[in-house]
Structure 1
Amino acid sequence: MDFDMAHYLLTEGRRKEKENSSMHSPSKEAYRKCLAETLLNNQTRILAFKSKPSASIQGMIFNEVCSSHLPKSSAKPCRYIPQDAERTLDLPGLIDDYYLNLLDWGSDNVLSIALGNTVYLWDALDGSTSELLSVNEEAGPVTSVRWAPDGRHIAVGLNNSEVQLWDSAAMRLLRTLHSRHRSRVGALAWNNHILTTGGMDGLIVNNDVRVRSSVVETFMVYHVLHILKLYSVLDMVLIKICRAQMAVRWRRRQGTRR
């Protein structure tokens, strides 16, 4: 109901009586009628009972098209970060040396742990622990471990500069790589069949584990004390060294440093 229109129609009769008392010219009366027809559309009913007009088809189509292009707002759930450790492992005999890599988690959810001269495997699925290998005092201690991408084979770096390759499923030694390092092997990285090793002598060695003479490339990072970490992706090797926390990127097969 239009209250403004109802008020106008109710008071229009009194206004006409007052206007009739004072004579108006025919031009003014014609102007008043024309203005009423234009603005009021000859509406005379005070109460209008009728249903709400339905939306036009064009408006409905427009609304559907617009709503289909609007992005659906879906609030992403907040990531839950636990405040306490899920599991705590007791590791007696773990060497406290920042320059060694004594833990590595494999793709099959098995954690390799080097404790002194022995390497253990802890299965996170069932919580079982098994001993993979143990080396003698002359070769040990173990200075690095690294799983291959298949989650079955693992490389083990030793203090005597050797690297052993083991089959964790069969629990047997596959081969020993006599690298060109002059000191312990503290960093390992896999890239398919290429195993990259790094020692505290600054030497980086790429080994093809498929061939008998495994060394395919060597390069030296001068003026460093230790190779902390190795990452091998595609044809690049990322080397993290201890001095000033530097990182060096090296392109394999070309020997270009960046």
Structure 2
Amino acid sequence: MAQFGLENDISNTLKLDIPITNAPVARWQRKASSSNTSSTALSPMKYANISLNTSKTPSKTPGRRKATPSKMMGEDRFIPVRNEKQMEVASFLLSKESRPKEEGVSAVVLEQQKTWSMALNGCNLEEARILQFSGKPTVNPDGQHNSLKSLYSHTITPRSTKKTRYISSTAHKILDAPDVRDDFYLNLLDWSNRNFMAVALKDSLYLWDATQGNITHLMTMGNDVDYISSLSWAKEGNYLAVGTSDCAVQLWDVEAEKCLRSMNSHSARVGSMSWNSHILSSGSRSGQIHHHDVRVAAHHIFTLQGHSQEVCGLQWSPDGRYLASGANDNMVYIWPRVGQGRTDVSQSLHTLSLHKGAVKALAWCPWQSNILASGGGTLDCHIRVWNVNSGSCLSSFDTQSQVSALAFAPNYKELVSAHGFTQHNLVVWKYPTMSQVSELNGHMERVLNIAMSPDGSTVASLSADESIRMWKCFEVDPKKKSKDKTPLSLNTALTRSIR
């Protein structure tokens, strides 16, 4: 019978509904006692006795309550604590809203209300507004910028009157140039101040009147083997210098269509020429540069020796102080002008040797007479800007293509470059930043020469694809057009000496 007594003791011990008198108070019982807000709180012993008398286990997890206070737990709603000042402000606002507005409120009463508002709330409630709507935007104090003014302002911003410049990517006019000689070292195109364009096609010379559109065949070489190698218009008058492959320099009166004289002093073809008043400078394949005074019979007055190969680029500065020469020896020389008692004219002022290819492209800046731009051939492909006073290179830019010609556009202070292999196009650069403005594509072969129109609005390009294209990139502002016209003839002494 003893074993039955042991089993009964174990069964009584494992029963859950029998309270354990010596155990601590459960967590849910402690939370229930703390949430009870009655005036007579139960003592722990009494709370424990109540719990012990219950014979049911809680159906839900002890201690877990809803967010809303439960009436079963005896909880009250939340009442905020307000001080005396806040109660007075609330009473004032309620009485003000319920009181009807009087039309004839005196200034004393309004001032008294403002004083009460300042004392109770710290500010005037009539002026303390969150939003204010009005017909026009308010002016910002102390010149502060309002970033939202452009969105919410009633005033209409006037449209900008500045016009965006448009550069056409197609040529304005195209002329045929059959049998043009595809030779990088020759200069076969030039545009006169009288708006006549001269172009050499093999052994013939043609003139195109840009004003009327007429074409004139001026001359043809007597021998089929010989050809025209260079052209250069006099800056004044209608005289054209023609260099030939038989070492001669011819001077033509275009108006009379007559060859005035032929000057023979070179021993090789004349590939480049440039005028400085009555002095005509010519460069040949021998590397020599000759100065010709066209007023006198003994025209050859000086020889410049410095280049070891053919002189393919020759340009006098706009003020006539310097002569720039480029050659196939990759060198650029700066020479002083002849006369005025100088005895060292045979010595160059500067020798510029940064190019790694033939230098044919030369251009002086019209508005800065001491600035020279030069371009290198296929092995160089660089455009370099020089200060001839110091002989320093101001900037250099790699064009990734052969540079065959350069010209400044004074209307917009830009630089135009003509390219051969491999681009075969023209590029307009902003000077002096050398940022690209536009590309002019259309030629199928390399561009040999370019020439600027007298008004600076159009640039003409002669290409090996046997075409001349006119690019109208630099339109002249009518307000900026000069009223002065360029003289159409040389001075009387020059005319008499030639005739």
TM-score, reference length from structure 2: 0.37
RCO higher in structure (CA 8 A, sep ≥6): 2
Tell me the distance in 2 between the aligned counterparts of 1:11 and 1:228. Answer: 101
Amino acid at match of 1:154: L
Residues 87-236 of structure 1 aligned to structure 2 (within 5 Å): 87-137=173-223, 140-179=226-265, 181-224=266-309, 226-233=310-317, 234-236=320-322
For the pair 1:80 / 2:172, whether they are aligned, the reply is no
Q: Which has the higher mean CA deviation after the structures are superposed, 246-255 or 85-94?
A: 246-255
Amino acid at match of 1:231: Q
CA contact (8 A) 2:313 2:327 kept: yes
Tell me the distance in 1 between the aligned counterparts of 2:93 and 2:261. Answer: 113
Tell me the distance in 1 between the aligned counterparts of 2:285 and 2:162. Answer: 46
Question: 1:135–1:12: structure 2 CA closer, same or farther, 3 Å change rule?
Answer: same
Q: CA deviation at 1:206?
A: 1.0
Amino acid at match of 1:256: S
Question: 1:14–1:175: structure 2 CA closer, same or farther, 3 Å change rule?
Answer: same
Tell me the distance in 2 between the aligned counterparts of 1:129 and 1:81. Answer: 28
CA contact (8 A) 1:144 1:188 kept: yes
Q: CA deviation at 1:161?
A: 0.9
Q: CA deviation at 1:178?
A: 1.6
Tell me the distance in 2 between the aligned counterparts of 1:251 and 1:190. Answer: 14
Structure 2: state its 5+ residue gaps: 1-88, 96-115, 125-159, 339-344, 351-499
After superposition, the CA RMSD in angstroms is 3.7
Tell me the distance in 2 between the aligned counterparts of 1:100 and 1:14. Answer: 100
Structure 1: state its 5+ residue gaps: 1-8, 16-31, 41-73
CA contact (8 A) 2:311 2:327 kept: yes
Tell me the distance in 2 between the aligned counterparts of 1:78 and 1:156. Answer: 42
Matched-pair identity in %:
34
Per-residue CA distance 1:173-230 (angstroms, 9 max, x = gap): 1111122x11000000011111000001000011111111111211112322x11111
Per-residue CA distance 1:47-78 (angstroms, 9 max, x = gap): xxxxxxxxxxxxxxxxxxxxxxxxxxx77533
Question: 1:10–1:81: structure 2 CA closer, same or farther, 3 Å change rule?
Answer: same
Q: CA deviation at 1:139?
A: 8.1
CA contact (8 A) 1:139 1:160 kept: no
Tell me the distance in 2 between the aligned counterparts of 1:235 and 1:134. Answer: 35
Residue 4 of structure 1 aligns with which residue?
A: none
Spell out structure 1 runs of 4+ moving beyond 6 A.
Answer: 9-15
Residue 5 of structure 1 aligns with which residue?
A: none
TM-score, reference length from structure 1: 0.69
Tell me the distance in 2 between the aligned counterparts of 1:113 and 1:13. Answer: 96
SS at match of 1:201: coil
Tell me the distance in 1 between the aligned counterparts of 2:281 and 2:211. Answer: 29
CA contact (8 A) 2:204 2:220 kept: yes
The total of aligned residue pairs comes to 212
Question: 1:165–1:13: structure 2 CA closer, same or farther, 3 Å change rule?
Answer: closer
SS at match of 1:88: strand
Residue 348 of structure 2 aligns with which residue?
A: 256
Tell me the distance in 2 between the aligned counterparts of 1:106 and 1:11. Answer: 96
